[in-house]
């Protein structure tokens, strides 16, 4: 099985693929204070819960936006699975021209999202990824990564507000009963959900007007499903888009390495 690892600022998401099928998903909290041994124990335990052993993993690919954890997790892969992970970064064959001023600045998760989305629609596409940051990633009809937009993530923005407003209390993010909040918790929920939907709709409208070509809009990440209910722009939600992109990148690089 192929183990795809996406190290984000908040969570480490892992996917186990049998061929093109995502058979299992694992999610761990990103914690830079956690040791390699601790992560190793957690991963072996998560595999065991799914009836798997380290021998089940025969291939691995890793994307990380947390440099402090990249080598540690790669080391875990080498030690547990006896495999050298393919690390997404400069020099990796993506099959997608990156038309960014400095391509090295583009997060590997954003490239994985873009690759998977273009593979699905084969046309202009905007990926909205609701993570620690909310990112908009744009791919041209020719399959070129053009750039995007970065906005503070939903939870990051809410945490910042609550830390600066003494009279506001933490609320569980969820579906508001209506747009107009008639109490403080509902007002916060409306701001988070309807505000995020309005952000997406407004940003997509501006991007498409500037680009001059139509785009399919795909959302992924933790808040994607609930925001889609109130967004006019989002056409589909693909919760495993990043992991799917990592699978595609692994295939492209291993296939290319076998070519003469």
In the block, which residue shows the tokens 């690390």? 87
Residues 6+ apart with CB under 8 A from 260: none
DSSP label at residue 13: E
Cβ atoms of residues 4 and 61 within 8 Å: yes
Q: Can you spell out the DSSP letters for 67-87? A: HHHHHHHHHHHHHHH---PEE
6, 109, 113, 129: which one is catalytic?
109
Hey, is 38 helix, strand or coil? Answer: helix
In the block, which residue shows the tokens 């945490």? 159
DSSP label at residue 53: -
Residue 109 annotated among the catalytic residues of the structure = yes
In the block, which residue shows the tokens 């761990």? 28
Separation CA 228–CA 235 (nearest Å) = 8
DSSP label at residue 88: P
Number of H helices, E strands in the chain: 7, 10
Q: Please give the helix or strand (H or E) that residue 3 lies within, else none.
A: strand 2-7
Catalytic residues, which ones? 109
């Amino acid at each position: 099985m192929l183990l795809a690892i996406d190290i984000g600022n908040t969570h480490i998401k892992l996917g186990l693929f049998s061929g093109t099928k995502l058979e299992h998903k694992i999610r761990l909290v990103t914690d830079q204070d956690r040791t390699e041994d601790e992560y190793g124990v957690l991963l072996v335990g998560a595999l065991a819960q799914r009836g798997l052993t380290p021998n089940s993993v025969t291939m691995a690919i890793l994307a990380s936006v947390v440099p402090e954890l990249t080598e540690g997790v790669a080391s875990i892969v080498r030690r547990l699975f006896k495999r050298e992970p393919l690390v997404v970064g400069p020099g990796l064959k993506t099959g997608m021209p990156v038309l960014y001023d400095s391509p090295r600045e583009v997060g590997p998760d954003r490239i994985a999202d873009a690759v998977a989305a273009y593979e699905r629609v084969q046309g202009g596409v905007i990926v909205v990824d609701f993570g620690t940051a909310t990112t908009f990633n744009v791919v041209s009809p020719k399959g070129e990564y053009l750039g995007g937009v970065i906005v503070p993530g939903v939870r990051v923005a809410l945490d910042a507000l609550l830390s600066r407003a003494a009279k506001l209390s933490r609320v569980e993010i969820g579906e508001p009963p209506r747009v107009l909040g008639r109490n403080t918790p509902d007002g916060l929920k409306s701001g988070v959900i309807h505000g995020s939907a309005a952000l997406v709709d407004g940003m997509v409208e501006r991007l498409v007007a500037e680009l001059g070509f139509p785009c399919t809009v795909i959302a992924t990440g933790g808040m994607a499903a609930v925001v889609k209910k109130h967004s006019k722009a989002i056409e589909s939600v693909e919760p495993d888009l990043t992991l799917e992109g990592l699978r595609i990148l692994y295939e492209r690089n291993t296939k290319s390495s076998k070519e003469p």
